[in-house]
Amino acid sequence: MRTAEVLDRLGLFTDDRASAVDRWLDRKLHEVTPGIRRDAESWARTLLDGGPRSEPRARQTAWAHLNEIQPLLLEWSSRYDHLREVTREDITTSRDAVTGKQRESRIVALRSLFRHAKKNGQIFRNPTIRIRVPRQSGGVVQPLDQVDIDEAIATASTPDIRLIIALAAVHAARPKMIRTMRLDDVDLGNRRITVGGHVRPLDDLTRRAVLDWLDYRRNRWPNTANPHLLITQQTAVELGPAGKLWTTRATRNLTATLERLRVDRQLEEALTHGADPLHLALVFGIDEKTAIRYANSARVLLAEVAEQASQ
């Protein structure tokens, strides 16, 4: 790759390989009938690149949407030549073939596809109009057992893993927030840390983890120009963030994954501060629906404890 970069700067390199997106679309749609494939590919590229009136979506969103409806496109290809032949009954049948979260994801993806096709004159009527799927309310969020938390803590044997677990368990940071944090998100002098754009106090435990990591980073890669807080041997010579798998590796096979530690931290805050959704929103910068869910779960758990104590 370094050789290719040098040759490219000298104007001597021509990359004639098919792009990763082209290969992905060809792999997903190669058995889809041409009329349906053309419209589906136009939609997928608009999700990835944006359009005149739409912003590009995250690549993971485009992948998830197309992966969800690819079996439907293949099935419709055996009966139809174009998306305009797909009926409302086809949509409801495909919706009812799955349950739970997948049902909601399928309808969201189909709505996106047919809205795009209608807007671009590829179909006459949108068959997904007024087809609804009730959102999953979710059950009561349960706290982690202490033994599971202790198991996660036991994996923190290196400065990078100690900092990663501290950010998840103390500041409720998502894995993506952790790996994309930058050096200037940590203000040691004022004891502040910015997590996901939300400024929080820097507690003693996280401060020690940050200092240990920065000392290790400085000794291991003294000349790196990477502005991200957490770096690896690969990203030390680049400018991008660490990878998702590197960030989540320590707790991947544990009950207390980084995501579960994040959830447990927010639930713990709700349990110890009166199940107040406004307090949760202010502390963690989460939206009101998420804050209300944690507050409701905390009320149920607190009521169960009170009931057991009265027996």
> DSSP string spanning 281-298?
HHHH---HHHHHHHHHHH
Quote the pLDDT of residue 229.
Answer: 95
Quote the pLDDT of residue 288.
Answer: 86
Quote the pLDDT of residue 7.
Answer: 62
Quote the pLDDT of residue 311.
Answer: 63
Alpha-carbon span 88 to 126, nearest angstrom: 8
CA 144, 146, 147, 150 torsion: positive or negative?
positive
- The answer to whether the pTM exceeds 0.85 is no
CATH 1.10.443.10, the chain: domain bounds: 146-310
- CATH architecture of the domain with residue range 146-310: Orthogonal Bundle (1.10)
Quote the pLDDT of residue 165.
Answer: 95
- Could you say which residues of the chain have pLDDT below 50? none
For the chain, first and last CA: distance in Å?
Answer: 68
